[in-house]
Structure 1
Amino acid sequence: MTWSKVHLVVLPIVCWFLFVIGITATAPAAEIQMQVQAVPPTQSALSPTGQLLTIEDAVRIGLDNHPRIKSANERIGSQQAVLGQQMSAYYPTVSLSNQYRTSQSSSNGGNDHAADTFSSQAGFNMTLYNFGKREGNVQAARETLDATKQDYETTSQDIVLAIKQAYYVYLASQALVKVRQETVRSRELLVRQAQGFYDVGTRARIDVARAEANLYSAQADLIAAENGVKIAWVTLRNAMGSPRLPEQPVAEDSPEVQFSMNLAGARNVAFDARTELKSFDAQRKAADQLIATARRGHLPDLIFDASYGRRHVSDQKGLNTFPLQPTWSVQLSFNIPIFDGFRTTNRVEETLHNYYNVKAQEEDRRQQIALEVEQSYLRVVETQERIRATESAARAAKENLDLAQGRYQVGVGSIIEVTDAETLYTDAQTTYIRTIYDYKIADAQLARAMGDTRVGVLKPGSIK
């Protein structure tokens, strides 16, 4: 048997052997379903409690620990104290004073006169009526307190949105690591196949070099993806207000909610539910009360004063300090403002401008909310449509990769065909994963725009 005949017999056997090896190695890849799953945590990555961090847990941790929540809560306490200060106008002022005074004077005749004075006195002061000034100040403080509470809710919703976005970015980063790991395994297999073909002389060295270049590129992408997971975790724990929280497994599944709503309905819900508008409404009411209070500055005050005490004076003429003699007084004042240098007039102007400023800010915020709702609504509609398209693209790319690998393993296809198919499949998987989490982030933004405090994700297809 000549060498050429041996070559013709051995070559098909070698190709068949490599084909069997390739099919066996790529079988797990063919079983991959188009589902987005987090990278399975290793045993060392378990949290101290051994439980997964759910999105509900992340939100709870953020609302318990975030400094912005604590700051907003302190502002509520501060405004409650302001309300207490205004309420003090309904109560009298009671004071107690004790005084000792010594004096000496000289007359023209050279006679000196010295005296010591002792006094102890309790005072009582109360505004009986000031034509609604204190009532206006108290009501303005109450409305401002209500606005501060609404600002607290706004801060809470902003923090929840930041946590949800960071949470989904972290899950997306983990899913992308899984894609990169599968790409590295696939390209390692291609390197072994190309090397095997080169060793038996059926392929050129360029096939091996191209396969190795693609492998090294995939390994670099995997390193970048793994680093992206670390960055995403840092971002998530910062959003939760816990910068030292150790990394732990994160639950993939989020509760789904389903309801039908059009754009006009979403906008109306936002106008009714957004805490920013409720805050501006309370601020406007407070400003209105301050206007009325400032105008009442032209009206009189009715004030009651009373005092009771003991005092006496001792001098060189024989008067003794003790015992102290009782003294008391009662006074009813009716103070009518006549002219105060236009202070009250300018105060009224100030409160009017503040009122119109609040109204303008409220209208601006209303328009901004309408824009946020429309943008978020359209983004949800877009991403839920893209999910179907990218899922089909990923499925087609997987079929294309299987065909390209099969052709290359039997010696029909080229290395370029396989590497292009691998790149196409990796890109399609990446796009599909990002689209899924883009949808979840868009849904979180829509919920925030509508003032919806739900944690679950809107089921795809709910919005038409």
Structure 2
Amino acid sequence: MTQKFIALVAVLTLSSALSDLNAQSGAQTATPLTLQQAEQIAMKNHPRVFAAQYNALAATQVVREARSSYFPTLQADVTGSVADHNTRLGAGYLSSSQLFNRFGQGISLDQLITDFGRTSNLVASSRFQAQAASDDAQATRYDVLLAVNQSYFEVLRSQALLKVAQTTVSERQVVLDQVSAMVQNKLKSELDLSFAQVNLAQANLFQIRAQNNIKIAQAELARAMGQQNPEAYTLAEQPLPSPPPETADPLVAQAMQNRPEILSAQASRDSAYKFQRAERDLSLPTVVAEGDAGVIPLVAQLTLPRLIPDHYEAAAVNIQVPIFNGHLFAARRQAALMRARAADEGLRDTQGRVARDVRTAWANAVTNYQQIDVATKLLNQAKLALALAQGRYNLGLSSIVELSQAQLNETEAEIQEVNARYDFENQNAVLQYQVGLLR
């Protein structure tokens, strides 16, 4: 049973060695990549960035739609009709009742003179909505940048943990070889050998998981950069950021000025109030000028000479004054007011959420920064304890259990040291994002 277990450990070790060779071979052809380059690639490739830009551009066209009321409307008509002699219209709306055979063509021109502010308020509302869409596009870009930062640091973390796993496998292989020699010389028991074999098997499992985590992290990075297929990159290490400020208050103040979500909510609120004013102006008169001109080359007449002119020109000014429509305008005005007040509360909620997120990110960043020094000290102590345990074991003053525990403590300390460093890198990116400085 022991020989089978040793053979299994040997196979796992050989497999890990071959994987390392393959990884090193792939690393030689990998493209160097910095965090700034990864962000630039994401801005050029990510579909969410393009979708947000297109939505923002679409919102600018709504402004043109609203401004179209300022310009005249020109249309051409060509009309021909055939009717029985001396027939008349007898149903439908009030209109010219006479029907006659004719063919004519002409143009009509309509121009809004004034609607007492409704169109100007609609234009202002659409402009604020376009600004909100632009801010939403900026928020999307920030989201993509945060995802790039997080996935970038996750790849670096996974690579660092793989190095820890490889070192752990090497160290425990040395211990296994040492214990095996002692067992052969009758200096240690089979129990010591079993413990050493178990420790090496655990290290190999740790290495396999670390290799898998690298593949997952690389896939996440490719997705964050907008790439369909992961490419081989050699990531550059980033310098450790400076510690967070002592309080979160200045960061909250910055976030209120920088966060695109707040700017978008403010623009949406302003748009809602402009639209409410436009709905209020529905009750005011509308003044429109109209002009018509054309020719009638053919008119059916029973007598000659022709009495109807072969051309026509006309102009008019129409003033439409709303009097009563079943309280439709009042309901629309009140509904717009309620939506504007809801936008007020939405802005207040966004500001509160951003302030909470900034304080949470700041607290996490402070904690993670403090953990770096503690984790470094823990690692140094664990290395010292392992050296002492190894010496005691070699002298026969302790059991394999004490040495195994020291090895486990060192491995856990190395993992915590790596996690502490990259947790702070990641949380610092989150803090910059929450403040609105991750650009």
- TM-score for both structures, normalised by structure 2: 0.88
Paired letter, 2:26: S
Alignment partner, residue 368 of structure 2: 383
Q: Which residue of structure 2 lines up, in the alignment, with residue 84 of structure 1?
A: 64
Distance in 2 between the 1:320 and 1:163 partners?
85
Q: Given that residues 52 and 250 in structure 1 are in contact (C-alpha distance below 8 angstroms), is that contact kept between their aligned partners in structure 2?
A: yes
Partner of 1:374: 359
- Partner amino acid, structure 2, of 1:67: P
Q: Please give the alpha-carbon distance, in whole angstroms, between the structure 2 residues aligned to 1:452 and 1:379.
A: 17
Q: Which residue of 1 aligns with 2:73?
A: 93
Confirm or deny: 8 A CA contact 1:234 1:243 kept in the other structure.
no
Alignment of 1:14-413 (within 5 A): 42-46=24-28, 51-105=31-85, 116-254=101-239, 256=241, 260=245, 262-315=247-300, 317=302, 325-413=310-398
* CA drift at 1:407: 2.4
Q: CA RMSD in A?
A: 2.3
Q: Tell me if the contact between 1:46 and 1:248 (Cα under 8 Å) persists in the aligned partners.
A: no
Q: 2:419 aligns with which of 416, 431, 434?
A: 434
Cα 1:87/1:114, change in 2 over 3 Å: closer
Q: Which amino acid aligns with 2:288?
A: I
Superposition deviation, residue 442 in structure 1: 1.1
8 A Cα contact 1:198 1:204, kept in partner? yes
2:65 and 2:329 map into 1 onto residues whose CA distance is: 22
Does the 8 Å CA contact 2:279/2:333 hold for their aligned counterparts?
yes
| 1:189-216 CA-partner distances (Å, limit 9, x unpaired) | 1111111001111111111111111111
CA–CA distance in structure 2, aligned partners of residues 281 and 392 of structure 1: 48
**Contact persistence 1:314–1:320 (CA under 8 A):** no
| Equivalent AA in structure 1 for residue 174 of structure 2 | L
CA distance in 2, matches of 1:242, 1:200: 58
Q: Provide the secondary structure at the position in 1 that maps to 2:83.
A: strand
CA contact (8 A) 2:26 2:232 kept: no
Cα pair 1:174 1:229 within 8 Å, conserved = yes
Residue type matched to 2:263 in 1? K
CA deviation vs aligned residue, 1:410-437 (integer Å, no higher than 9, x gap): 3333211211111100000001110111
The one-letter amino acid paired with 1:177 is: L
Query: 1:147·1:280 contact (CA, 8 Å) conserved in 2?
Result: yes
- 8 A Cα contact 1:130 1:301, kept in partner: yes
Amino acid at match of 2:27: A
SS at match of 2:43: helix
Partner SS for 1:128 = strand
Residue 103 of structure 1: how far off its partner (Å): 1.4
User: Cα deviation per residue 1:23-66 (whole Å; 9 max; x = unaligned)?
Assistant: xxxxxxxxxxxxxxxx996243345xx64111111111111111
- Give the whole-Å Cα distance in 2 for the aligned partners of 1:436 and 1:244: 29
Query: Could you say which residue in structure 1 is the equivalent of 2:401?
Result: 416
C-alpha offsets along residues 60-88 of structure 1, whole Å, 9 cap, x if unaligned?
11111111111111111111110011111
Show CA shifts across 1:316-351 (max 9, x none). 725699x97011110011111111221110111111
Letter of the aligned partner of 1:83 in structure 2?
V
Q: Cα distance, 1:225 vs. partner? A: 0.8
> SS in structure 2 opposite 1:341?
coil
**What secondary structure sits across from 1:249 in the alignment?**
strand
Say whether the 8 Å CA contact 2:142–2:433 is kept in structure 1.
yes
Specify the alignment match of 2:12 in structure 1: none
Match of 1:451 in 2: 436
Residue 152 of structure 1 aligns with an amino acid whose one-letter code is A
Report how far residue 258 of structure 1 moved.
7.2
The 1-side partners of 2:26 and 2:322 are apart by: 78
Q: Deviations over 1:290-320 (max 9, x none)?
A: 1111111111011000010011544372569
In structure 1, stretches of 5+ residues that fail to align are 1-38, 108-112, 455-464
What is the distance in 2 between the residues matched to 1:335 and 1:261? 65
Alpha-carbon separation, structure 1, partners of 2:192 and 2:415:
26
Structure 2 residue ranges without an equivalent (≥5): 1-20, 88-97
Counterpart of 1:92, as a letter, is P
Asked whether the equivalents of residues 120 and 309 of structure 1 are also in contact (C-alpha less than 8 Å), the reply is yes
CA–CA distance in 2 between the matches of 1:90 and 1:120?
A: 26
**Pair 310,238 (structure 1): closer, same or farther in 2 beyond 3 Å:** same
Q: CA deviation at 1:257?
A: 5.7
Q: Which moved more, 1:288-297 or 1:312-321?
A: 312-321
| 2:6 corresponds to | none
Distance 1:63 1:319, change over 3 A: farther
Change (3 A) 1:320 1:57: farther
Find the residue that maps to 1:354 and give its secondary structure. Answer: helix
Q: Output the amino acid matched with 2:63.
A: L
Q: Tell me how far apart the structure 2 counterparts of residues 235 and 97 of structure 1 sit (CA, whole Å).
A: 60
Conserved 8 A contact 2:241-2:425 = no
Cα distance in 2, alignment partners of residues 346 and 46 from structure 1: 70
